[in-house]
Amino acid sequence: MPPAQFRARAKALFKKRQLLIWLALASLLVGISAFGEPLDLSLHTLRNKIRAQPVSGKLVVVGIDDESLMKVGPWPWNRERLATLTQRLFDNGAERVFIDIFLRSGERVGDRKLTEVISRYPGRVLVTSGLGNAGSEKAGRAILPMPEVARVAETVMDLKWLEFWNGVAVQYYGRLIDGRPHRSMESAIAGVNGDVDETYPIDYSFRVSSIPYMSATDVLENARVAVPVKGRDVLIGINSPTTGDMFFVPGQTRSARPFIVAVGAETLMRGRPLVLGWVPAWLLACAAAACLLYMKRRLVTSIVSVTAMGGALIGPLLLEKANIFMDVAPAIVLLLSAMVAAAWLRFGARKRSQGATNPVSGLPTATAILHGDQLDTGLLVAVRVRHFIDIISALPPDRERELLKQIVTRMTLGTGGAQLLHGDDGNFFWLAPASEQTTVIDQFKALQLIFRTPIQVFDRSFDVDVAFGLDQETHMPLSHRLASALAAAHAASQQGVGWKVHDPATSGAKEWTLSLLGELDQAIQSGQIWVAYQPKLDLATRAFVGAEALVRWTHATRGPINPAEFVEVADRHGRIGKITSFVLEDAAQLVKDARQWIPDFTISVNISPSQLTNREVIDMVEAVLVRHDIPAESLILEVTESAAMAEGGTAQELLEELRAKGIGLSIDDYGTGMSTLEYLRRIPASELKVDRRFASALATNAQDQAVMRSTIELAHALGMKVVVEGIEQAETLYMLASMGCDIGQGYHIGRPADGPSLLELLAPQKHWAFTG
């Protein structure tokens, strides 16, 4: 295998390994954190519906429900009622009675009668204990039955840990209450014990509706109960949403605490569940993801995809029938990510393979290098055939292949065995080891001697001259180095020399400007140009009321580019409209989303002075408002002080027309120009934005304070709101609020961030308020 191909393959494998590691780490985070819980909840709910089954019927629930409360009276009842209820159940043949009610001391006569009833049935009445709820005065403190009851009945534990979905996913086998171990009520009912603080998952495939149930009033009013309890355990608990706790049961209805206890007990009646967690499925998914990324045969990857995803979805269903429980959210996230990544890699490989071979010369093209941004530590050679287009145009189409064949044959003699790549318009490339620069220069000389001999194509003879360019910037991507080497070859051809070495120091401002302009459209399409949003805060209410849209360019090779630099270039060369249109589209979608939560939310977009010379900006704005179905008042256009005061009537007329349509206008960077009161009175602005330099020293500079106070008063007198940018300290924010400033903006309030991050900040479920 040629060294270049070996290095390319090694780099491809390295990238796949990196990708696999990142995907595995991301899915690992899903498992360690709570991010995967909603997915696991949905999958558990689906499996529960598929496995839906009735309960065993060994446990009967007697509920103190709304009917009982209406007939007997409001809760709490006199313990005499509970004593009668318990005795009546034993009279009907109940095996054991579990009282899921905290029996603290109450009325003496009733407590004594209840104690007497319980003492008649030693070991057959179990009462509950627990811990005080978080946030209450008794948080974490033991709640135990009254001593008289505790002496004649076993005390069990009933604690429920609520999940984010307001339900109970797992239950304890037992807990320490008041320093002593207490088994859970579910464990006592099922007769299955475990270690203290050990948990098991509740199997909600048991239908709550199938649990045998009686109202407490039916038991109290009838000597013979409607539901047979002979030989069965009975659970007494509160079943009223106004008196007791209600829990969400996945895939079923909201249910009271006794039914959760019953389902938990049914789970243990099948035996101790085996809990595998999420790690085993995740490890299997890691192996499947590696196969997806490394396997080249589509049939194999398809089989792996179907088998792995099917196993992740169907495997837990089969295991739960055997009382084995596992979570698969991290595994599914990893598998889906790996499938998408593998599909993307195959798509990229197909794209790179398109045109990968020149149909005339049969050589590989430079497409693979252009599509990949890999690095190579070797020298990059570019060959430019002078007057290639003129020579080709002089030949019939069927003779072009013969000409290229002879050119390639001669070049191959001087490449030292390296793979020759075919570019466009008579350009060729190859890579050479960095240590062989002297050898490469000798190859240039030898090739020039070879090409001095004319090339014979059938009956015609052509003088073919070549020039070479050499790039040594091994730290740059090959896609960038191709252009550099070709530029050096072009320079050598123009100067009439044999070869030139690319010197990055010669790249001046003109090349940089042309590069920016040439890459502008592609940068927008590829997402390199994006929109950041800096939030704006109402200083009176401390609520976010808007944001400013700020264009950003993160270049693939040069990194972040100063907005002032590329915006100025685009403006100077008539390309600013494309950037403005892009920012308006993005900002319109964001303000539409934000108004779901903040109806008066506004977005500010900067407009270049050059765009106030014709109606194009008005047409652009109107189209965006219609396309995104947002009101005109949700958009504020920021124009600089100098642009708003421009001589001539066109800018003034355009601003007045925009304002008449309901669009907000803001005078940006106020204080940096030479505006007068007359100009401010004429400009139809709704907002005055004070330049950041006046905020930077506001807390310590008395003159700046005086200027700021008078500016705020002036703007309010003219009917404008005042926005101050550059707030970076809490003292500045407090001072501006005391002066009556309307809106603040700056790093102390919020740094510029992408759209999703801003929407996450604004989302109501965050319950977030600015307090700085």
Mean pLDDT of 469-489: 82
Whether pLDDT at 767 is above 60: no
> Three-state DSSP class for 541?
coil
**Mean pLDDT over all residues of the chain?**
85
Higher-confidence residue: 503 or 734? Answer: 734
Q: What is residue 101's predicted lDDT score, i.e. its pLDDT?
A: 92
Strand pairing class (125-131; 142-143)? antiparallel
Nearest residue to 380 via CA among 420, 425, 426:
420
What is the token pair recorded at 603? 């977005």
Query: Which of 284-288, 383-387, 683-687 is least confident?
Result: 383-387
**pTM, rounded to two decimals:** 0.50
Q: How many CB atoms lie within 10 A of CB 83?
A: 20
Q: Do 438 and 472 meet the contact criterion of CB atoms below 8 Å apart?
A: no
pLDDT digits (tens, 9 = 90+) for 55-84: 999 999 999 999 999 999 998 888 899 999
Whether pLDDT at 34 is above 70: yes
pLDDT digits (tens, 9 = 90+) for 552-609: 988 877 778 888 778 887 887 778 888 999 999 999 999 999 999 999 999 999 998 8
Q: Helices (DSSP H) in 609-671: which residue ranges?
A: 616-628, 641-644, 649-660
Q: What is residue 423's predicted lDDT score, i.e. its pLDDT?
A: 79
Whether pLDDT at 453 is above 80: yes
Q: Residue 178: which region, alpha, beta or left (left: phi > 0; alpha: psi -120 to 50)? A: left
pLDDT digits (tens, 9 = 90+) for 366-392: 765 555 444 556 788 889 888 787 777
Q: What is residue 680's predicted lDDT score, i.e. its pLDDT?
A: 75
**CA–CA distance from 540 to each of 374, 604, 688, 705 (Å)?**
53, 20, 17, 19
Q: What is residue 672's predicted lDDT score, i.e. its pLDDT?
A: 65
Q: What is residue 643's predicted lDDT score, i.e. its pLDDT?
A: 62
pLDDT digits (tens, 9 = 90+) for 291-346: 888 887 778 888 888 888 888 899 999 999 999 999 999 999 999 998 898 888 87
Whether pLDDT at 771 is above 60: no
Mean pLDDT of 270-289: 92
Confidence of residue 352 (pLDDT cuts 50, 70, 90): low
Confidence of residue 510 (pLDDT cuts 50, 70, 90): very low
Whether pLDDT at 136 is above 50: no
Residues with Cβ within 8 Å of residue 750, at least 6 apart in sequence: 534, 535, 537, 761
pLDDT digits (tens, 9 = 90+) for 389-436: 777 777 777 777 888 888 888 888 877 778 888 877 678 888 888 778
At residue 200, φ and ψ (nearest 5 deg) are: -140, 150
What is the token pair recorded at 435? 């240590």
Whether pLDDT at 487 is above 90: no
Q: What is residue 456's predicted lDDT score, i.e. its pLDDT?
A: 83
Mean pLDDT of 628-646: 83
Per-position DSSP letters for 374-419, written without gaps between them: ---SSEEEEEEETTHHHHHHTS-GGGHHHHHHHHHHHHHHTTTTPP
Q: What is residue 4's predicted lDDT score, i.e. its pLDDT?
A: 46
Distance CA 461, CA 642 (A): 66
Q: Which residue is it, tokens 């190579």?
A: 376
Whether pLDDT at 205 is above 70: yes
Confidence of residue 182 (pLDDT cuts 50, 70, 90): very high
Q: How many CB atoms lie within 10 A of CB 633?
A: 13
